[in-house]
Structure 1
Amino acid sequence: MNKLEDLVEIAYPGEPHCPIVLLLDTSGSMSIHGKIEDMKEGLRAFKEELSSDDLARKRVDIAVVTFGEEVEVTHPFSLVEYFMPPAVIAAGLTPMGEAILCAIALVKERKEQYQNLGIDSYRPWIFLVTDGEPTDMYEGDSLWKEATGAIRSGEENGDFVFFSVGAEPADMKILAAISPPGRDPVRLRENRFSDMFVWLSRSQAKVSTSGTGDQVILEDFFGPEGWGEIPLF
């Protein structure tokens, strides 16, 4: 009997694929100051920008995991032309630990699907955006150790790249403790979700034009006009 992953069809199997999981906070606090609406507008900009790049349309593979009232895969992996930004609402707490493990499992499953179909792939990205701190784990407890350990081992083994972005009033110290060594979290300036997602789409497009083993230099997002800033702890 075929395994389920053997039956998955992936568009453009002759192209190397560049998977990214958008790991998005949809807790109740995201309704404050219009953050959830700004994030949805950013997702639309993300799709529009990627859609304008012929090669990225065939290679960038997008999934969305949201965490608020529950942890949910609100959009399974698909290429850009099939990506529909989910109509998320802000509600609930911040089950970030469970969401991180869900995103890592999703990446692992997708990589296995590529392998089963003989599709080459780039190193996956997991891109976390939150305005808070986890409510399902605390520093040093079992879920914390499991989630942060999975992030560190995944980075060290080259399984994925983990980024984290904190919108106000995210606890940047907590995000720094969750993030892998050498990749500090970035503070989002002034709810500039659209600018952040445009940068992310351009970064994915740049990765998709490189060789699968190449190191890619990304556009700078700091500076007076950038969307991000280094947090001061």
Structure 2
Amino acid sequence: MVRMENNALIRLQDLVDNPTTRVPICICLDTSASMLVVESGTYEKTGETVYEDGRTWNIVSGGETRLNELQKGLQLFFDAIAGDEVAKYAAEICVVQFNDDAECLLDFGSIERQQVPQLKAKGDTHMGEAVNLALDLLEKRKNEYKDKGVDYYQPWLVILTDGENNGSQDSWQRAIDRVGNMVKSKKLTVFPIGIGKEANMSSLGKLSPNRSPLRLQGLKFAEFFEWLSKSVSKTSQSVPGELVALDTEGIKGWGTL
């Protein structure tokens, strides 16, 4: 409890020490068992199977998993933001993972104080719970901005999943309703990204009323996070409330409809 209180005090002090207009970004990452699927490299079948995330999986050893590549991409994103002279003072990143439950791995704060969280995959895909947690964290941080007189750009919610919600249906519907209302009232920008051929794009689209979800090309997490960091940098150099056009050409390098 003491450590959590200290972290909260540090996060509030950051707003006093650095009144730069913020770009709050919450990244929701699927870390269910299916993210352990091996997509590249050399691997061997063990002959064992396991039932998780609604399916039976063959257990293998070796190879590069979706989770491995996601971890590398996330590190690249943090490094790119930290290396940008404008974005590093404006961007605030929060990371929420979802598997058997939803968990905040990294709360909003100065990137100079943050470390990239280590992702671990297991269990199911409780996406609704994660989106609701992300929106709660965004709302809390916005209130802290307002309390300290710090301006902010429209918050971003980035969701990456290789499946579909199989958690609480009530939480899922609540997440859909909350995101839809915020997007329509221009209080949230959502980037829903599907990973692999099993990602349910129709389901993911329910979280994005104004923009079709995109499917990642293969394991191009690095290309996606590079594009995302450039988009954050561009936004951080604009005027709050100004419409910032997305780099649609850049999207072609990592995503497809």
TM-score, length basis structure 2: 0.82
**In the alignment, which of 228, 235, 240 is matched to residue 200 of structure 1?**
228
SS in 2 for 1:78: coil
SS in 2 for 1:54: coil
For 1:111-126, what aligned pairs fall within 5 Å after superposition? 111-126=142-157
For 1:48-59, what aligned pairs fall within 5 Å after superposition? 48-59=79-90
> Structure 1 residue 85 and structure 2 residue 91: aligned?
no
> Structure 1 residue 227 and structure 2 residue 254: aligned?
yes
Shift of residue 136, structure 1, vs aligned partner: 1.1
Identity of aligned residues (%): 32
Shift of residue 122, structure 1, vs aligned partner: 0.5
Aligned position for 2:193 = 165
What is the distance in 1 between the residues matched to 2:19 and 2:117? 28
What is the distance in 1 between the residues matched to 2:84 and 2:171? 39
SS in 1 for 2:86: helix
Aligned position for 2:203 = 174
What is the distance in 2 between the residues matched to 1:132 and 1:41? 20
Q: Write the deviation string for residues 138-196 of structure 1: whole angstroms up to 9, x where unpaired.
A: 5xxx33331111011111222211110000121111112x2232211100001111111
What is the distance in 2 between the residues matched to 1:19 and 1:143? 23
Quick check: 78-87 or 192-201, which moved more? 78-87
Contact preservation (8 Å) 1:65, 1:74:
yes
**In the alignment, which of 174, 185, 194 is matched to residue 146 of structure 1?**
174
Contact preservation (8 Å) 1:163, 1:179:
no
Aligned position for 1:133 = 164
Count of residues in correspondence between the two structures: 221
Equivalent position amino acid for 2:192 in 1: S
> Structure 1 residue 46 and structure 2 residue 77: aligned?
yes
User: Runs ≥4 in structure 1, deviation > 6 angstroms?
Assistant: none
Shift of residue 213, structure 1, vs aligned partner: 1.1
Q: Tell me: CA distance 1:144–1:69, structure 2 relative to 1, closer, same or farther (3 Å).
A: closer
> Structure 1 residue 31 and structure 2 residue 58: aligned?
no
Aligned position for 2:41 = none
What is the distance in 1 between the residues matched to 2:19 and 2:171? 39
Q: Structure 2 regions of 5+ residues with no counterpart?
A: 39-64
TM-score, length basis structure 1: 0.90
What is the distance in 2 between the residues matched to 1:9 and 1:158? 28
Q: Write the deviation string for residues 92-114 of structure 1: whole angstroms up to 9, x where unpaired.
A: 10000011100111110000000
Q: Write the deviation string for residues 21-76 of structure 1: whole angstroms up to 9, x where unpaired.
A: 01100001001121101000001110111122111010000000000132100001
What is the distance in 1 between the residues matched to 2:105 and 2:207? 23
Contact preservation (8 Å) 1:22, 1:63:
yes
Contact preservation (8 Å) 2:132, 2:175:
yes
What is the distance in 2 between the residues matched to 1:54 and 1:13? 14
Higher strand share: 2
Aligned position for 2:135 = 104
Quick check: 144-153 or 107-116, which moved more? 144-153
Shift of residue 14, structure 1, vs aligned partner: 2.1
Shift of residue 137, structure 1, vs aligned partner: 4.0
Aligned position for 1:95 = 126
